[in-house]
A and B are shown apart, each in its own frame.
Chain A
Amino acid sequence: GAGVSQTPSNKVTEKGKYVELRCDPISGHTALYWYRQSLGQGPEFLIYFQGTGAADDSGLPNDRFFAVRPEGSVSTLKIQRTERGDSAMYLCASSFQAGVTTGELFFGEGSRLTVL
């Protein structure tokens, strides 16, 4: 498709389980970003990739969170031993390049994670 695609759109899991959230960015976009949005809050930066490498992972809350982008396109956000506090909307965005500020981050519709 033409836009950023995120799957699943909704994920309900139990505390302690492992979860993967997938993001398929716009073709040709080298930069990819993950944000987390809790209810009533704005998007909170988690990690960004330039190509295959995580150029900035300073927003990941702890070592239960990890993200990969092995081929420089699709990215997977992985959450181990989920906790109820991980419940949020996880947003993915992409842009043509990260080194220049264009502001044009293209967001997907998000993956809503609920941890019971």
Chain B
Amino acid sequence: AQSVTQLGSHVSVSEGALVLLRCNYSSSVPPYLFWYVQYPNQGLQLLLKYTSAATLVKGINGFEAEFKKSETSFHLTKPSAHMSDAAEYFCAVSGSNNNDMRFGAGTRLTVKP
């Protein structure tokens, strides 16, 4: 079984500051890891994914995440926050199939001007 834990239900940064959203996973098989973003009044959309290729994964809107097996982590970062990054971010893990994808509780990112 797979699960993820997102540390921090709320993160607030200033515009232009580094964004760091934390995710740790647990998996009995080699995991596939994902970050999804949910903007207000919209459905979840895939931001980036790790599927056992490169450990540093680049996604849309300047976000990237690094898979660290030794730390069982998949933290999401962005060098410089933009106001439009304000949203809810969900980390997810699956095993060998999409059907066992499981989500974390989410982290709400607020960007202050």
Contact = CB atoms under 8 A, between A and B. Distances in A.
Interface of A: 3-4, 31, 33, 35, 40-45, 48, 50, 55-56, 91, 93, 95, 97-110
Given A40-B9, A43-B44, A101 B51 contact: yes
The 7 closest A-B pairs by CB, nearest first: A42-B103, A107-B43, A103-B49, A107-B44, A48-B99, A103-B34, A43-B103
Interface residues of B, number: 28
Nearest to A108: B43
Judged by DSSP, the binding face of A is loop
Contacts of B104: 42
A57 to B, nearest CB: 11
B102 interface: yes
A95 B98 contact: yes
Given A40-B9, A103-B34, A103-B94, A45 B101 contact: yes
Nearest to A35: B103
B90 interface: yes
Contacts of A41: 105-106
B97 to A, nearest CB: 6
